Structure 1
Amino acid sequence: MKKTQLVVIPGLLSTHDVYRELIDVLGVAPFVADTLKDDTIAAMARRVLEAAPGQFVLCGHSMGGYVALEVVRLAPQRVAGLALLSTSPWPDSEEQTALRRRLVAMAGERGIAAVTKLMSDRLFGAATRTEDRDARNLDMALAVGPAVFARQQAAIITRRDQRPLLPSIDVPTVIVTGTSDQVIATERSQEMAAAICGARLIALPDVGHMVPMEAPEATADALQTLIATVEGAS
């Protein structure tokens, strides 16, 4: 953990707080990417590359995983290891895009809190959902706000299909999914693991979409193993 810089990328409507327990378990101070200013995944990825240290282990959750894959596409030499949490290489479907636009309209009409409360039922596994996690999720959403939410959804809607990229990824990679994820199916993680040479797949029982919050110890263990692999190969 001493030699390798960790870069973490939050997902939709998330701040650095989504990684709070994970960071505590790891005992490191990662670089937290800014996903609040841009309306394309490519622009978010370029911002990461402009601000992050020269080479790093990259961890992205959900939308942050879309950004992480774009970082790998743009500058593979900068990425020493890759962790993809609750994410997918697929582009948006028509149904997903229509839902995102309805949620953006709802946020403008009724506020971001109403959208967050609606989404929370699908974000956490039944066994891992707590009042504290619901409250923290709402706090993050309020901090992000409806304008940024609209930008982030626009970025997600227009993201590229990253499936052709996967076979070219040649750095140590770990893919973490919750078996109770209602947002991005575990099958997407299985597909990524099959397409990336040597990728390690970790499926966490009863965990939902918010893997860093719901299972910080297991996720930290996956990252520690990844970093040890990167450092052992250097």
Structure 2
Amino acid sequence: MNVPLILLPGLLNDARLWAPQRAVLEPDRAVQVPDLTLDDSIAAMARRVLDAAPPRFALGALSMGGYVALEIVRQAPQRVERLALVDTMARPDSADRARVRRGLLELAHMGTFKGVTPQLLPKLIHRNSLDTPAAQTVRDMALAVGREGFIRQQQAIIERADYSAWLADIQVPTLVIVGADDQITPVEEAQFIHQGIAGSRLEIIAECGHLPPLEHPELTTRLLQQWLSA
């Protein structure tokens, strides 16, 4: 049996984020998509994933899931056989971005949570995907995570560690993917990770926003297949 694969979703995402990839990859290997809505720290999320994970595994992750993936590699490097980081970042938020996060968190604590609004959706996915089933999946996932899940996830993101210094310690085959038009974690962040991890491969997907697994599912799956077999 091929090495098991763990795929980590991002903020306001659930297993549906990776459904297109899972449908193709799962016949050849065990695939897990853990629930990242239960903890309010990245370290706790990582420990929960590790507790349920096989002894060794390949690890793919998007956005907030990427923070968890980097924490998993920090906590248990000997268990990760290869790493795929999709539209994520290793550096902490800028002051402005952190301020926006704290404002959203405060609103959620006050009871204001609207999921992914029509105003937010164009920041998450490319305009070419706005009238596709991917857009509805994004909205549905956010509502399923809900206010309490969002509060825990946002708190975890705000307090996450700076993983920049640990990139050089990653010694496994690493794939870095980013949408060319990602407004949440732009291409520069992917380039920073790519430069920090020796021997990593960088793939920039044209006409793509923050969610390649849904926006370009076939291409994302093909890239993961290549990474898994490299």
* TM norm structure 1: 0.92
SS in structure 2 opposite 1:202?
strand
Question: Counterpart amino acid of 1:65?
Answer: G
Contact 1:25 1:217 in 2 (8 A): no
Aligned to 1:138: 139
> What SS is found at the alignment partner of 1:118?
coil
Residue aligning to 1:119: 120
User: What SS does structure 1 have at the residue aligned with 2:204?
Assistant: strand
Partners of 2:119 and 2:57 lie apart in 1 by 36
Q: Distance in 1 between matches of 2:6 and 2:153?
A: 19
Could you tell which deviates more after superposition, 130-139 or 40-49? Answer: 130-139
In structure 2, the residue matched to 1:101 is: 102
Whether contact under 8 Å (1:22, 1:213) holds in the other structure is no
Give a deviation string over 1:94-122, Cα, whole Å, max 9, x none: 21121112223344443333x54332120
Deviation at 1:131? 4.2
The total of aligned residue pairs comes to 227
Q: Secondary structure at the match of 2:74?
A: helix
The SS at the match of 1:110 is: coil
My pick for the range that moved more, 98-107 or 176-185, is: 98-107
Q: Which amino acid aligns with 2:12?
A: L
> Residue 7 of structure 1 corresponds to which residue in structure 2?
6
Could you say which residue in structure 2 is the equivalent of 1:217? 218
Report the RMSD for the aligned CA atoms in angstroms: 1.4
Question: CA offsets per residue over residues 68-126 of structure 1, 9 Å max, x none?
Answer: 0000000000000000000000112221121112223344443333x543321200011
Tell me the residue number matched to 2:25: 26
Give the deviation of 1:13 after TM superposition: 0.3
Cα distance change, pair 131–103 in 1 and its aligned pair in 2 (3 A): farther
| Aligned-partner SS, 1:151 | helix
Percent same amino acid at aligned positions?
42
Q: Which runs of 5+ in 2 are unaligned?
A: none
Structure-1 separation of matches of 2:139 and 2:106: 18
> Mean alpha-carbon deviation: is it higher for 16-25 or for 126-135?
126-135
What's the counterpart of residue 112 of structure 2?
Answer: 110
Q: CA deviation at 1:27?
A: 4.1
Alpha-carbon distance in structure 2 between the residues aligned to 1:104 and 1:202: 32
Alpha-carbon distance between aligned partners in 2 of 1:111 and 1:72, rounded to the nearest angstrom: 32
Aligned residue in 2 for 1:208: 209
Q: Which amino acid aligns with 2:104?
A: L
Q: Which runs of 5+ in 1 are unaligned?
A: 230-234
Alpha-carbon contact 1:128-1:206 (below 8 Å) kept: no
